[in-house]
């Protein structure tokens, strides 16, 4: 289990703020681009920045023609392959075309001179974001239905016809975990700020114990309760957000990442390990596994300890990237510094699961 200072996610992440300093965009240039490239768009614009999110800064645009969302790469030096807003745009456009719940995509800009970095614009979905996996104030039946809606949405993603969505070339076939372990090892090394023994042991253990990949699907890469927009009045997922880490790969990577909530303490975020799940109506992990397997035609899932080790290792690599950006002065949110302190605990947790997996 990871441990950190509990936060009030509703205070920290909900709502928008006026962009300041490096987060400010050239509104005149942006408006001109929108009028030229987004069908039906009319200015002027009111631009604010969403509080949540550590990776790709995200803005709300309000204009006479409607409300939109803009996501851009951070400014400054970036790690290779990170912050791929063009891939986010591509996967969501493909999934929207086949009816999977994502926001409609309106335009991608790869011209740095408009706002200073690549960005894309999509529709804004009316609904609510659930930042706290405990869902304070909800009825137990609603909590249970909400968690099952999450499982069903993930299963639906893993059943998407890749070719019909135009995503056959979105990732490489086979050896998903091998490529991912190599990628996150490389990313970690590029952002490394100090030596951590658990990381060193994981870098040795994971590549030589890779599980067999038996299926390929679109994988989201960060599928958890706070990366969804739910209907305001019912437990239905209207849109899945934050596709930066998506690719073609092993759906078990996605599923086991989602299941990490059941081995992570709540601390005001998506974990449910230390909650009274029965009283709250939150399904147990076994129920989640059973529902996912029924929806995807699986007989069961392998022992998840290796997958948890891999996922916590990958998280440590991601947070190490944020830590490096904090040191370099290019981190994009007020929460980034606090988040950067989680690398060592994540590494320890990953190694603990690796030992359970036989390391």
CATH number belonging to domain 140-356 = 3.90.1200.10
DSSP for 226-248 reads GGEEE-TTSS-EEEE---TT-EE
Any idea what DSSP says for residue 214? -
- Whether 257 has a pLDDT exceeding 90, the answer reads yes
Average the pLDDT over each of 11-15, 200-204, 206-210, 320-324 and give the range with the smallest value: 11-15
- Whether 8 has a pLDDT exceeding 70, the answer reads no
Sorting pLDDT into bands at 50, 70 and 90, what band is 80? low
Q: Give the C-alpha separation, 327 to 191, whole Å.
A: 10
Contact indicator for 2, 342 with CB cutoff of 8 Å? yes
CA of residue 21 relative to chain centroid, distance:
26
Contact indicator for 221, 246 with CB cutoff of 8 Å? yes
pLDDT in tens, 261-294: 999 999 999 999 999 999 999 999 999 999 999 9
Q: What percent of the chain has pLDDT over 90?
A: 78
Residue 84, pLDDT score: 84
Residue 4, pLDDT score: 42
pLDDT in tens, 122-175: 999 999 999 999 999 999 999 999 999 999 999 999 999 999 999 999 999 889
DSSP lists the bridge partners of residue 105 as 122
CA of residue 164 relative to chain centroid, distance:
24
Q: Give the C-alpha separation, 225 to 132, whole Å.
A: 8
Contact indicator for 172, 179 with CB cutoff of 8 Å? yes
pLDDT in tens, 198-218: 999 999 999 999 999 999 999
CATH number belonging to domain 9-123 = 3.30.200.20
Give the residue extent of every domain in the chain. 9-123, 140-356
- Whether 93 has a pLDDT exceeding 50, the answer reads yes
11-14, long-range: CB within 8 Å, 24+ apart, which pairs? 12/51, 12/52, 12/335, 13/51, 13/52, 13/53, 13/129, 13/131, 13/226, 13/335, 14/51, 14/52, 14/129, 14/131
| CB neighbours of residue 126 within 10 Å | 11
Q: Is 140 exposed, middle or buried (0-12, 13-18, 19+ CB in 10 A)?
A: middle
Q: What percent of the chain has pLDDT over 70?
A: 90
pLDDT in tens, 231-251: 999 999 999 999 999 999 999
Residue 75, pLDDT score: 75
Sorting pLDDT into bands at 50, 70 and 90, what band is 314? very high
Residue 9, pLDDT score: 47
Q: Give the C-alpha separation, 146 to 225, whole Å.
A: 9
22-28, long-range: CB within 8 Å, 24+ apart, which pairs? 22/75, 22/330, 23/49, 23/57, 23/332, 25/59, 25/72, 25/115, 25/116, 26/114, 26/115, 26/116
The segment with the largest mean pLDDT, out of 44-58, 158-172, 313-327, is 158-172
Residue 342, pLDDT score: 86
């Amino acid at each position: 289990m990871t441990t950190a200072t509990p936060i009030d996610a509703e205070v920290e992440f909900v709502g928008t703020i006026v962009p300041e300093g490096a987060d400010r965009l050239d509104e005149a240039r942006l408006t001109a681009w929108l009028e030229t490239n987004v069908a039906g768009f009319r200015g002027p614009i009111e631009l604010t920045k969403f509080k949540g999110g550590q990776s790709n800064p995200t803005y709300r645009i309000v204009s006479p023609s409607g409300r939109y969302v803009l996501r851009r790469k951070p400014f400054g030096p970036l790690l290779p392959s990170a912050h791929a807003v063009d891939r986010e745009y591509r996967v969501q456009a493909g999934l929207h075309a086949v009816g999977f719940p994502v926001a409609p995509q309106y335009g991608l800009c790869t011209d740095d001179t408009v706002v200073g970095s690549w960005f894309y614009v999509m529709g804004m979905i009316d609904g609510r974001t659930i930042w706290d996996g405990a869902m304070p104030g909800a009825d137990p039946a609603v909590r249970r239905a909400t968690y099952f809606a999450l499982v069903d949405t993930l299963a639906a993603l893993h059943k998407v016809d890749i070719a019909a969505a135009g995503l056959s070339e979105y990732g490489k076939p086979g050896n998903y975990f091998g490529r991912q372990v190599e990628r996150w090892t490389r990313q970690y090394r590029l952002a490394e700020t100090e030596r951590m023994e658990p990381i060193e042991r994981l870098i040795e253990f994971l590549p030589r114990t890779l599980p067999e990949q038996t299926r390929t699907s679109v994988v989201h890469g960060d599928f958890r309760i706070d990366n969804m927009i739910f209907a305001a009045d019912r437990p239905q997922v209207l849109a899945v957000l934050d596709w930066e880490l998506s690719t073609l790969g092993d759906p078990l990577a996605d599923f086991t990442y989602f299941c990490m909530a059941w081995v992570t303490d709540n601390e005001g975020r998506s974990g449910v390990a230390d909650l009274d799940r029965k009283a709250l109506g939150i399904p147990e992990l076994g129920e989640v596994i059973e529902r996912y397997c029924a929806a995807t035609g699986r007989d069961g899932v392998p022992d998840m300890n290796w997958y948890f080790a891999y996922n916590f290792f990958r998280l440590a690599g991601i947070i190490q990237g944020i830590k490096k950006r904090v040191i370099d002065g290019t981190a994009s949110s007020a929460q980034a510094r606090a988040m950067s302190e989680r690398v060592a605990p994540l590494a320890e947790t990953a190694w603990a699961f690796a030992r359970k997996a036989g390391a």
